[in-house]
């Protein structure tokens, strides 16, 4: 998340939103306690945590060994009323003029992945694992009955490049990367089949009609080479 301007109020608002939206659950799971900022928020809202006598000890000793997370887009946070907004991953934020957007209006921010990898690793000093990252798009057949999804290849390639920079240049400990996804399924965010993420096309429409025939997209063969080369085919430079 980025503050919209250098106005200190925007920066403070970004901290507040990041705490509750991005960090709260991982703070508890990685650090082993409920952070003070969350307790203050509960207090302001009149919420009372009901805990058993040994719950705090269980949190302290039950921390995770690594942190996995999904990354699709970044967001801009502001204290001003906004006319232009950007909706990404079920969160509405300020439109970022420096970024392109997907066909569904999600900001495309590969550098944001490198940023959040650094933020999470600096905060927790635990190995990380990217378990979801992908582009929802309309996929159509060309005259040769092929799906040439170059936009998806460009999206994933740019994000993998930034992931490699975070590891090689910044020293982030990263266990792995799994994109979303292998095969087209119904989009969890919109309930649509036409919003496709997979490397493999499935003949099915939003109404559930189709033959269920499957066909490999251009991105399938591209990502196969990425896996075989352990990412070196991306040729990212730190």
The region of weakest confidence among 14-18, 56-60, 89-93, 158-162 is 89-93
Same domain? 92 vs 182: yes
Q: Looking at residue 229, which CATH number applies to its domain?
A: 3.20.20.80
Same domain? 13 vs 70: no
Same domain? 58 vs 89: no
Counting the structural domains of the chain, the total is 2
Same domain? 24 vs 85: no
Which of 46, 64, 82 is the C-terminal boundary of a domain? 64
Mean pLDDT computed over 55-69:
97
Same domain? 26 vs 75: no
Instruction: Give pLDDT tens digits for 2-12.
Output: 999 999 999 99
Same domain? 36 vs 73: no
Q: Rounded to two decimals, what is the model's pTM?
A: 0.93
Give residue 233's pLDDT.
87
Same domain? 33 vs 82: no
Same domain? 31 vs 139: no
Burial category of 74 from C-beta neighbours within 10 Å (exposed 0-12, middle 13-18, buried 19 and up):
buried
Which of 16, 31, 64 is the C-terminal boundary of a domain? 64
Instruction: Give pLDDT tens digits for 139-164.
Output: 999 999 999 999 999 999 999 999 99
Instruction: Give pLDDT tens digits for 100-133.
Output: 999 999 999 999 999 999 999 999 999 999 999 9
Same domain? 48 vs 77: no
Same domain? 79 vs 59: no
Which of 64, 93, 109 is the C-terminal boundary of a domain? 64
Same domain? 31 vs 81: no
Same domain? 20 vs 108: no
CB 201 within 8 A of CB 147: yes
Domain with 44, as residue range(s), is: 1-64
């Amino acid at each position: 998340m980025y503050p919209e301007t250098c106005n200190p109020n925007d920066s403070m608002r970004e901290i507040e939103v990041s705490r509750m939206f991005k960090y709260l659950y991982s703070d508890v799971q990685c650090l082993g306690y409920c952070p003070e900022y969350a307790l203050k928020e509960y207090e302001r809202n009149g919420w009372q945590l009901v805990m058993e006598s040994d719950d705090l000890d269980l949190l302290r000793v039950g921390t995770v060994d690594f942190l996995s997370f999904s990354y699709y887009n970044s967001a801009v946070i502001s204290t001003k009323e906004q006319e232009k907004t950007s909706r990404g991953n079920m969160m509405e934020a300020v439109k970022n003029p420096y970024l392109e957007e997907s066909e569904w209006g999600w900001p495309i921010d590969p550098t944001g992945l490198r940023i959040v990898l650094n933020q999470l690793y600096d905060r927790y000093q635990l190995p990380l694992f990217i378990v979801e990252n992908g582009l929802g798009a309309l996929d159509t057949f060309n005259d040769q009955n092929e799906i040439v999804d170059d936009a998806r290849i460009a999206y994933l390639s740019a994000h993998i490049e930034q992931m490699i920079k975070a590891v090689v240049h910044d020293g982030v400990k990263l266990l792995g990367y799994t994109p979303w996804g292998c095969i087209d399924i119904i989009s969890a965010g919109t309930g649509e089949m036409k919003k496709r993420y997979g490397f493999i096309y499935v003949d099915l429409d939003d109404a559930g009609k189709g033959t269920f025939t499957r066909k490999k997209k251009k991105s399938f063969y591209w990502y196969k080479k990425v896996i075989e080369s352990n990412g070196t085919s991306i040729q990212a430079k730190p």
